[in-house]
Amino acid sequence: MTSPMTLTVKPTATAPALTLRPWQDSDVPAVVAAHRDDAMRRWLMRPIDDEDEARAWIADQAKGWANGTHLRWAVEEGGTVVGFFVIKAANPPETLATGVGYWTAAEARGRGIASRCVQAATEWLFGGQDFLPAEEIELLHTVGNEGSCRVAHRCGYVLDSVLAPMPPQFPHEGHRHLRKRPA
């Protein structure tokens, strides 16, 4: 069993620090509000429509910590939840590399939050920790999600391949961006 932990993303000259912390029941309203955004819902595998679904989703976040397969955090800026971040353990044959994923609430987009989280997680994964060893990290997104493509490139992830659709869960082509541990 893996115990949830908190990570900090350092402040920059133009942006405050971010805290990646375990999800909690008090986050239900923030999750519901974030999922009302049509732009975000277009890319999600599991959109949330109400507080009951948000509570169930938050409960699911703890399961990934318990079995060490998905480390999922609320991204907080100045005490406000502004996004979601996940590190997914490699799970052959489904996925060969450790992965990162995220969403950012509509009102927080365009401020580099996703990029800062991806960069901090990449540094943590490649930085000598033995909690979740990784030789390479993948960032997957649906083709057409230009924001995620920009995040990948900004953080040094190279487009590795275009993935075929796999309906019903993945009805559209995807991009697989990859970053390898520095030599």
pLDDT digits (tens, 9 = 90+) for 5-20: 899 999 999 999 999 9
Q: What is the DSSP letter of 95?
A: B
CA 178, CA 156: separation in Å to the nearest integer? 8
Q: Does pTM top 0.85 for this prediction?
A: yes
All structural domains of the chain: 7-180 (3.40.630.30)
Q: Which tokens belong to 134?
A: 């990784």
Closest listed residue to residue 117, CA positions, set 155, 171, 147? 155
Q: Give the pLDDT band (50/70/90) at residue 2.
A: low
pLDDT at 171: 85
**Contacts (Cβ under 8 Å, ≥6 apart) of 95:** 88, 138
